[in-house]
Copies of this chain bind each other. A is one copy, B any other.
Amino acid sequence: MTKDDKQTEEKIFTAATDVFEKKGLAAARMQDIADKAGINKALLHYYFRTKDKLFLAVFDKLADKMFRKFASIFERDMPFEEKITYFFKEHMTFLQKNPRLPMFILAEINRNPKLIELFLTKVNLNRIKERIAGDIAGKLPEEAVPHLLVTIISLSVFPIAAKPILEGILRTGGINYNDFIEERKTVAPEFIIRMLKQSAIESDEELQSDNKNHQ
């Protein structure tokens, strides 16, 4: 309640975020968190009861952070191609500043499937889907939307989530990881836009030759 309460709780939360993001739940140590927060272990338990509860608080916050950024970009009002270009620039820059965030979310959900439920409460997919359905109206069949979305996420998230390994591989080829990621902010949206153009061409050509049905 008091000012000091808030400060201590925040210091703990910040330190815990740091440690959990870097090490994950299983490898994180309460002692490390206490040290980093400049207090002692007992105080951690005073504020958050158990390691699990502290972890959940951190996961909740980070899951929210992860999804909010994603959604906020997609809800912007601009032409679709422009939006894709904007998305990669904005989202990858965000991930560059939070390089451990995607891997943290992915790894922890992978280890504890119950966390998905928590994550999904953060995700309001309907709004995004409607947005995109409107954006691409006429450009792509509606069934293609999930594939387009997964393509976008894969291209944006994977090169950051796999940073250490990609960094190593690129280095052996004489390429600097950060430079590469900078390039990718423009290369990736170009990929997608080219694909969409080509897709339009093809659907023109094959207009009425394809009438398979899908439920």
A residues with CB within 8 A of B:
23-27, 100, 103, 105-107, 109-111, 113, 116-117, 119-120, 123, 125, 129, 146-147, 150-151, 153-155, 157-159, 161-170, 172-173, 175, 180, 183-184, 187-188, 191-192, 194-195, 197-199, 202
**Which of B27, B105, B151 sits near A155, CB closer than 8 Å?**
B151
The number of times this chain is found in the oligomer is: 2
- Cα-based distance from A100 to B109 in the complex (angstroms): 12
Are B111 and A187 in contact (CB-based, < 8 A)? no
The secondary-structure label for the interface of chain A is: helix
Beta-carbon contact of B183 and A147 below 8 Å? yes
Q: Which of B117, B169, B202 contacts A125 (CB 8 A)?
A: B169
Compute how far the CA of A167 lies from the CA of B154 in the bound complex, rounded to whole angstroms: 14
Whole-angstrom distance between the alpha carbons of A129 and B195 in the complex? 24
CB atoms of B169 and A159 under 8 A apart? no
Given A173-B146, A184-B147, A191-B151, A165 contacting B197 (CB threshold 8 A): no
Structural contact, A105 and B165, CB atoms closer than 8 A: yes
A94 to B174, CA, bound (A): 30
Chain B: CB-nearest residue to A155: B154
